[in-house]
Structure 1
Amino acid sequence: MTSAQPVHVAAVDLGASSGRVIVGTLEDGRVHLTETRRFLNGPVPLPTADGQRLYWDVLHLWSEVREGLLAAAHEVGPLCAVGIDTWAVDYGLLDHRGALTGQVSSYRCPRTRGAPERLFQTIPADELYAVNGLQVQDFNTVFQLVAQARDGGLPDARTLLLLPDLLAYWLTGQKVAEVTNASTTGLVDVSSRTWSAPLLDRLRTSLGLDLAGVLPALVEPGTVVGTIDREVLDVLGPGGSPVPVIAVGSHDTASAVVAVPASTSPGSGRTVDSAGAREGDPGGFAYVSCGTWSLVGLELDAPVLSEASRQANFTNELGVDATVRYLKNIMGLWVLNEAVRTWRAQGLETSYQDLDAAAAAAAPLRTVVDVNDTVFFAPGDMVARIAAAARATGQPVPRSVGEYVRCIDDSLALAYRRAVREATALSGTSVDVVHMVGGGTRSRLLCQLCADATGLPVVAGPAEGTALGNIVVAARGAGLVQGDLSDLRNLVRASSTLTRYEPAAAASSAWEEAEQRLLGRQAPTA
Structure 2
Amino acid sequence: MSKRNIVAVDLGASSGRVMLAQWDAASQHIDLREVRRFASLRERRAGYDCWDLDHLEREIRAGLAQLDAENIVPDSIGIDTWGVDMVLLDKAGNRVGEAVSYRDKRTHGVMEQALRELGKETIYARTGIQFLPFNTLYQFRALSQQQPEWKAQVAHALMIPDYLHYRLTGKLNWEYTNATTTQLLNIESGEWDAELLAWAGASPSWFGKPTSPGNLIGHWRNANGAEIPVIAVTTHDTASAVLATPLTQENAAYLSSGTWSLMGFESLLPYASAEALRANITNEGGAEGYRVLKNIMGLWLLQRICTELRIDDLCALIAETEKEPACRALINPNDTRFINPDSMVNEIQNACAEQHMPVPQSAAALARCIFDSLALLYREVIQDLATLRGSAFRQLHVVGGGSQNQFLNQLCADACQIPVLAGPVEASTLGNVGCQLIALGELTDVADFRRCVATNFPLKTFEPLNNSAFRASEARFAALSQPAKELAYDKAD
Shorter-chain TM-score range: over 0.9
Give secondary structure in 2 for the equivalent of 1:328: strand
Change (3 A) 1:430 1:456: same
Question: How many Å separate the matches in 2 of 1:73 and 1:448?
Answer: 43
In the TM superposition, 1:274-423 aligns within 5 A as: 283-321=250-288, 323-344=289-310, 349-423=311-385
- Tell me how far 1:461 sits from its aligned partner: 0.4
Question: How many Å separate the matches in 1 of 2:228 and 2:256?
Answer: 30
Following TM superposition, the consecutive aligned residue runs of length 4 or more in structure 1 with deviations greater than 4 angstroms are none
Give secondary structure in 2 for the equivalent of 1:244: strand
- Residue equivalent to 1:223: 215
The code of the aligned residue for 1:503 comes to P
In the alignment, structure 1 residue 430 sits paired with structure 2 residue 392:
yes
The code of the aligned residue for 2:122 comes to E
Q: In angstroms, what is the RMSD of aligned CA positions?
A: 1.7
Question: How many Å separate the matches in 2 of 1:439 and 1:361?
Answer: 23
- Residue equivalent to 1:251: 236
- Tell me how far 1:254 sits from its aligned partner: 0.2
- Residue equivalent to 2:475: 516
The code of the aligned residue for 1:30 comes to H
In the alignment, structure 1 residue 145 sits paired with structure 2 residue 111:
no
Question: How many Å separate the matches in 1 of 2:196 and 2:429?
Answer: 33
- Tell me how far 1:246 sits from its aligned partner: 0.7
- Residue equivalent to 1:14: 11
Contact residue 418 and residue 463 of structure 2 kept, 8 A: yes
Give secondary structure in 2 for the equivalent of 1:148: helix
Contact residue 134 and residue 317 of structure 1 kept, 8 A: yes
Query: Which of 23, 26, 43 is equivalent to 1:26?
Result: 23
- Tell me how far 1:64 sits from its aligned partner: 0.5
Percent identity of paired positions between Structure 1 and Structure 2? 38
Question: How many Å separate the matches in 1 of 2:252 and 2:260?
Answer: 20
Question: How many Å separate the matches in 2 of 1:316 and 1:13?
Answer: 22
- Residue equivalent to 1:276: none
Query: Which of 112, 117, 126 is equivalent to 1:122?
Result: 117
Question: How many Å separate the matches in 1 of 2:375 and 2:204?
Answer: 43
- Tell me how far 1:235 sits from its aligned partner: 6.4
Question: How many Å separate the matches in 2 of 1:97 and 1:178?
Answer: 21
Question: How many Å separate the matches in 1 of 2:282 and 2:143?
Answer: 23
- Residue equivalent to 1:260: 245
In the TM superposition, 1:472-511 aligns within 5 A as: 472-479=434-441, 481-504=442-465, 506-507=466-467, 509-511=468-470
Give secondary structure in 2 for the equivalent of 1:218: coil
Contact residue 29 and residue 491 of structure 1 kept, 8 A: yes
Contact residue 438 and residue 445 of structure 2 kept, 8 A: no
Query: Which of 70, 77, 94 is equivalent to 1:82?
Result: 77
- Tell me how far 1:72 sits from its aligned partner: 3.1
In the alignment, structure 1 residue 54 sits paired with structure 2 residue 10:
no
- Residue equivalent to 1:266: none
- Tell me how far 1:298 sits from its aligned partner: 1.0
Contact residue 221 and residue 247 of structure 1 kept, 8 A: yes
- Tell me how far 1:497 sits from its aligned partner: 2.9
Between 106-115 and 426-435, report the one with greater CA deviation. Answer: 426-435
Question: How many Å separate the matches in 2 of 1:451 and 1:168?
Answer: 39
Change (3 A) 1:389 1:198: closer
- Tell me how far 1:76 sits from its aligned partner: 7.3
Question: How many Å separate the matches in 2 of 1:73 and 1:473?
Answer: 23
Question: How many Å separate the matches in 1 of 2:69 and 2:433?
Answer: 18
Question: How many Å separate the matches in 2 of 1:311 and 1:76?
Answer: 54
In the TM superposition, 1:439-478 aligns within 5 A as: 439-478=401-440
Question: How many Å separate the matches in 1 of 2:86 and 2:399?
Answer: 26
- Tell me how far 1:259 sits from its aligned partner: 1.0
Question: How many Å separate the matches in 2 of 1:55 and 1:130?
Answer: 31
Give secondary structure in 1 for the equivalent of 2:206: coil
Contact residue 73 and residue 79 of structure 1 kept, 8 A: no
Long gaps (5+) in structure 1: 264-270, 272-282
The alignment's TM-score, normalised by the length of structure 2, stands at 0.93
How many residues of Structure 1 are paired with residues of Structure 2 in the alignment? 477
The code of the aligned residue for 2:155 comes to R
Question: How many Å separate the matches in 1 of 2:341 and 2:11?
Answer: 19
Any idea what the Cα deviations from partners look like across 1:335-382, whole Å, max 9, x if unmatched? 0000001101xxxx4411111111112112222111111111114322
Query: Which of 234, 256, 268 is equivalent to 2:223?
Result: 234
The code of the aligned residue for 2:252 comes to F
- Residue equivalent to 1:280: none
- Tell me how far 1:401 sits from its aligned partner: 1.8
Question: How many Å separate the matches in 2 of 1:35 and 1:291?
Answer: 18
Give secondary structure in 2 for the equivalent of 1:302: coil
Question: How many Å separate the matches in 1 of 2:452 and 2:71?
Answer: 21
Give secondary structure in 2 for the equivalent of 1:320: coil
Any idea what the Cα deviations from partners look like across 1:230-282, whole Å, max 9, x if unmatched? 2xx5366xxx4x2111111100000000111123xxxxxxx0xxxxxxxxxxx
Contact residue 369 and residue 407 of structure 1 kept, 8 A: yes
Question: How many Å separate the matches in 1 of 2:451 and 2:49?
Answer: 41
Question: How many Å separate the matches in 2 of 1:493 and 1:86?
Answer: 24
Question: How many Å separate the matches in 1 of 2:65 and 2:131?
Answer: 40
- Tell me how far 1:82 sits from its aligned partner: 0.7
The code of the aligned residue for 2:285 comes to L
- Tell me how far 1:400 sits from its aligned partner: 2.2
Question: How many Å separate the matches in 1 of 2:224 and 2:255?
Answer: 35
Give secondary structure in 2 for the equivalent of 1:459: strand
In the TM superposition, 1:35-184 aligns within 5 A as: 35-46=34-45, 48=46, 52-75=47-70, 77-153=72-148, 154-184=151-181
The code of the aligned residue for 1:366 comes to R
Change (3 A) 1:485 1:83: same
Change (3 A) 1:26 1:443: same
Question: How many Å separate the matches in 2 of 1:235 and 1:104?
Answer: 32
- Tell me how far 1:430 sits from its aligned partner: 2.9
Question: How many Å separate the matches in 2 of 1:521 and 1:45?
Answer: 34
Give secondary structure in 1 for the equivalent of 2:421: strand
